[in-house]
Structure 1
Amino acid sequence: MEDCPLFNAGIGSYMTLDGKLEMDALILDGTTMKAGGVGAIRNLINPIRVARLVMENSQHILLAGEGANKFAAAHGFHQVDPNVLITPYSKERLASAKEGKAIFTPPEKTDITEETEYGTVGCVVIDKDGHTASATSTGGINGQIAGRVGDTPIIGAGGYADDQLGAVSTTGQGEAIMKSLLARHIIDVMATGQNVKDSIMHCVTQMDKRFNGYAGAIAVSPKGEIGIYHSAPQMAWAYVQAGKVHYGFHSDQHVTEEL
């Protein structure tokens, strides 16, 4: 998904107010409970690969900015020309932001429309042995201040994974997600026995009311139950189960096709 210019992650990431790209990513292994993240990393096509490298080849969990780039370079990741990552659409979105406000301000929930765009890509996995994992990657928010790091690389906010509890990946208004530790909150509610979708709905709704933000999440339980919910008008999602592909975009859409 980072390689697809249609998503706000990797190629196609949104631009900061100063015309740069700063990307965040997080990966978690629910079996080992290891995790790795990067924040405000620049000029790399696949931040999630660097996040995995942090998880597997360092004693740290989160590296940010210049340090994250230096770590990536030391392990053979070559920086690319920023223009490789910037799409015409990203330029258009930044121009629109500059025509409005000089500094990004998160929209109120009541301001959300079909044209409100913040994209994060993520996935959750459970294998036949019950091992779980979660990965999340984003280009941030269009027109954000340089150096801003959102919820994505924060454990318990942008994602969480634990074989005993399940796996979650979130998207939405990062500042609200961080305040509510949304991913961990969802996992905790799932642990009470509530089904996965209802757990997500409960936590997202509570976050909306308390922090006036919006969000969406995908999650899977240790038994393989899948849940998806979002409070914004749209969130592209898909999963594969029992030989069928399930997918949707709008809140009331659920399409099923045979593989």
Structure 2
Amino acid sequence: MKPFRLLIALTALGIAAMTHATTPVLVIHGGAGVIKRDMSPAKEKAVRAAMSKALQDGYAQLKAGKPAIDAVTAAITVLEDDPNFNAGRGSVFTHDGKNEMDAAVMEGDSLSAGSVAGVHRVKNPILLARAVMEHSPHVMLIGDGAEAFAKEQGITLVDPSYFRTDERWQQWQKALKEDNEKKPHANQDTTKHFGTVGAVALDSAGHLAAGTSTGGMTDKRWGRVGDSPIIGAGTYANAKCAVSGTGWGEFYIRTVAAHEICMKVSMLDEPVPRATAEVINQEIPSMGGNGGAIALDADGNIAMPFNTDGMFRGWIGADGVPHVAIYDDEPDPSNHLGVPAAPSSTQ
């Protein structure tokens, strides 16, 4: 091939590559549940500021050409470090007065995944979940073994007192009082089942990733583990879809919620808002559960349905501006006709 023609061919290839470049998108949540409008202005401002920072820090990774998993872990780390969220620093107390954390990550293009459960000293469980995915032959590690692996990998460990906040302590004291007064069992008290942070991202190469981190359920017993660290239940990603859930974990496990959403998108070719709403707003409530989720497809379409009073949620895309919402009447990019609504009994 003559030099001039070669130049034209290479230029054409370059233009084609640029044409098919994907616009990065990042979506996050900070938990769904009983989120009342009587939240103090100071706390609401702090929550919105933390969500915005998480979006900005995560999106900076995407703008720099980094993979989706970098954006997911960067965003979730911000939320784990903020005591306003039930993950990392703000984790709730178990019945025995401990902070017990779970987390998971997954890459859609390779189906690589890593998760941890029942850790007490890991400052950022999401980073340990990623280390499990990248530096071990396993998918899930738990308890002391997970923390031994964290030490080997140089993951930051802290004294358990780091996770103690007065707000979570008071919530635990209230729960213990209800236990002593023989108030309804925790399985009947849905307010205890919420509090998770998560992120899903689409990078410029068109690859998806998902991650979720949680402090679990207030007053939980017997080493209970929810859906967040279970691949397919609260966290899942494949080549066409990424999901992070937040809600009553037992129901997300029983429905394999995140995986089911992604199968509807990738196998049945359902739009991601419809697929997500069918699981979150129909299937889970029909069984007695509730909660929310964020989802993202390979074309950058977003869904964030929930059937509770509110869900801390945010997104950032081509405009580079972080968008944050809390309550059920605030707009989000998945609002459109044809998405199944939540049953009125769960509102």
Aligned equivalents of 2:143 and 2:192: distance in 1? Answer: 27
Aligned equivalents of 1:255 and 1:51: distance in 2? Answer: 29
Aligned equivalents of 2:218 and 2:280: distance in 1? Answer: 22
Q: Which of 1 and 2 has greater Rg?
A: 2
- Pairing partner for 2:263 from 188, 192, 197: 188
Match of 2:235 in 1: 159
- Aligned CA-pair RMSD: 1.8
Q: Contact 1:18/1:146 (CA < 8 Å) preserved in 2?
A: no
Distance of aligned partners of 1:255 and 1:170 in 2 relative to their CA distance in 1, 3 Å threshold: closer
Q: TM-score, normalised by structure 2?
A: 0.69
Aligned equivalents of 1:10 and 1:159: distance in 2? Answer: 17
Aligned equivalents of 1:255 and 1:130: distance in 2? Answer: 22
Pairing of 1:1-259 with structure 2 (within 5 A):
1-101=79-179, 105-107=186-188, 118-163=194-239, 165-191=240-266, 192-243=268-319, 244-254=321-331
Aligned equivalents of 1:173 and 1:17: distance in 2? Answer: 18
Match of 2:33 in 1: none
Q: Which runs of 4+ in 1 moved over 3 A?
A: none
Shifted more, 75-84 versus 150-159: the winner is 75-84
Long gaps (5+) in structure 1: none
Aligned equivalents of 2:192 and 2:164: distance in 1? Answer: 20
Shift of 1:254: 1.9
Shifted more, 185-194 versus 28-37: the winner is 185-194
Cα deviation per residue 1:29-85 (whole Å; 9 max; x = unaligned)? Answer: 112211000000111110000000000000000001111111111222343111111
Higher relative contact order (CA 8 A, sep 6+): 2
Q: TM-score, normalised by structure 1?
A: 0.91
Higher helix proportion: 2
Q: Percent identity?
A: 37
Shift of 1:205: 2.7
Cα deviation per residue 1:7-49 (whole Å; 9 max; x = unaligned)? Answer: 0000010011010011000000112211000000111110000
Count of matched residue pairs: 250
Long gaps (5+) in structure 2: 1-78, 334-347
Higher strand proportion: 1
Q: Contact 2:112/2:133 (CA < 8 Å) preserved in 1?
A: yes
Shift of 1:242: 2.0
